[in-house]
C-alpha cells in the first residue's frame, strides 16, 4: 500500500507542476476529452478525490448519495464538479484540488490494502482504489498535457494502471452487456526503464508491447490501432476495442487516426 500511495503522490505532483503557473486563459483551453477544458479536468479530479475520501470515512453516506444521485441523469451527476469549477477563478480550482487530494491521501493511509470500499459499481479493495486514483490522475493529466502541447514521459508508475487494466477485463465486457469471454489474454508489457511484466502467462491469445500504449488504450486515451501493441487472437482484439479501466457507463473511446 505504501508503494502505490507514494506513486499516487508523485503522479499528482507531476500534474500539479504542469498546471501551476498557467495563465488564466490557458485554464480554458480545450482538451481531447471533448468538451472539457483544463479547468474542467482539474475540477473533475477534485470532485472525485472528495468522493473517494467520503467513501473511506463515511461509506454509508457515500452509498446513499450514489443511490440517490445515479437514479437520475448520469451526466448531471458528472457536471456537479464541473459547474463548481466554472464558477470560481483558476487559482481556486487548483487550491480545491490540492485540498481534496491531500484529504484523500490522509484517508487512504489509514486503509489496509485488502479493505473493501464502496464505489461506483462493485466495491473495490483499498489498493485498487488507490491505483484507480493514480489512473485517473495520469489519464486526465495526459489530456491536459495534450491541450498544452507538452510531453509527459512515461514512468514505471504505469505498471499499477496496467495491473488494473488487466483486472478489469471482465468489467469491460459486462459494462456493455456482453458475455465475458471464456479465456483470458496473455499480456506482456515493457516499461520505460526496460522492465517487463507478464499477466496470464499460459493464455493462448496475446497482447505485447509498450506499457504506456496499453495504459492509454484501457484508459481510452488512444485507439489501439494507433499504438505499437501486437495483438494476436479475436478475444484480445475485441478486448482492446472496448477496454475500460474506469467506472461508469461505457466510454466512447477515441477514433483511430491511421
For residues 184 and 137, membership in a common domain is answered with no
E strands of the chain, at which residues?
116-119, 121-125, 186-190, 196-199, 206-210, 230-232
The whole domain housing 194 covers 158-242
* Beta-strand relationship, 186-190 and 206-210: parallel
- Segment-wise mean pLDDT, segments of 10 residues, the chain, 258 residues: 97 98 97 96 98 96 82 76 96 98 98 94 91 98 98 95 97 96 97 96 98 98 98 98 93 88
pLDDT at 68: 75
pLDDT at 206: 98
- CATH number of residue 234's parent domain: 3.30.1050
For residues 70 and 191, membership in a common domain is answered with no
For residues 180 and 227, membership in a common domain is answered with yes
Q: Which residues contact 194 (CB under 8 A, 6 or more apart)?
A: none
Write down the pTM of the prediction.
0.95
- CA–CA separation, 226 and 211 (whole Å): 14
pLDDT at 30: 98
pLDDT at 125: 95
Of 194, 176, 196, 177, give the one whose Cα is nearest residue 186: 196
For residues 33 and 140, membership in a common domain is answered with yes
Burial class (CB in 10 A: 0-12, 13-18, 19+), 176: exposed
pLDDT at 70: 66
Amino acid at each position: 500500500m505504501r508503494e502505490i500511495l507514494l506513486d499516487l503522490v508523485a503522479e499528482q505532483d507531476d500534474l500539479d507542476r504542469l498546471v501551476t503557473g498557467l495563465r488564466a486563459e490557458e485554464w480554458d483551453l480545450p482538451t481531447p476529452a471533448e468538451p472539457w477544458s483544463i479547468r474542467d479536468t482539474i475540477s473533475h479530479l477534485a470532485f472525485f478525490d472528495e468522493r473517494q475520501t467520503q467513501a473511506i470515512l463515511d461509506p454509508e453516506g457515500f452509498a446513499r448519495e450514489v443511490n440517490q444521485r445515479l437514479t437520475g441523469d448520469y451526466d448531471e451527476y458528472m457536471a456537479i464538479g464541473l459547474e463548481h469549477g466554472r464558477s470560481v477563478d483558476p487559482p481556486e480550482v487548483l487550491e480545491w484540488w490540492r485540498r481534496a487530494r491531500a484529504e484523500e491521501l490522509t484517508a487512504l493511509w489509514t486503509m489496509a490494502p485488502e479493505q473493501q470500499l464502496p464505489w461506483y459499481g462493485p466495491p473495490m479493495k483499498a489498493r485498487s482504489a488507490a491505483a484507480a486514483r493514480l489512473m485517473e490522475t495520469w489519464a486526465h493529466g495526459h489530456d491536459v498535457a495534450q491541450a498544452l502541447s507538452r510531453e509527459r514521459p512515461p514512468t514505471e508508475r504505469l505498471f499499477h494502471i496496467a495491473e488494473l487494466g488487466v483486472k478489469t477485463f471482465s468489467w469491460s465486457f459486462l459494462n456493455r452487456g456482453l458475455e465475458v469471454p471464456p479465456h483470458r489474454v496473455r499480456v506482456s508489457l515493457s516499461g520505460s526503464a526496460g522492465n517487463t511484466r507478464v499477466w496470464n502467462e499460459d493464455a493462448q491469445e496475446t497482447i505485447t508491447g509498450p506499457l504506456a500504449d496499453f495504459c492509454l488504450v484501457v484508459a481510452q486515451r488512444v485507439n489501439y490501432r494507433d499504438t505499437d501493441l501486437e495483438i494476436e487472437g479475436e478475444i484480445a482484439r475485441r478486448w482492446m476495442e472496448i477496454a475500460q479501466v474506469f467506472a461508469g457507463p461505457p466510454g466512447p473511446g477515441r477514433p483511430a487516426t491511421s
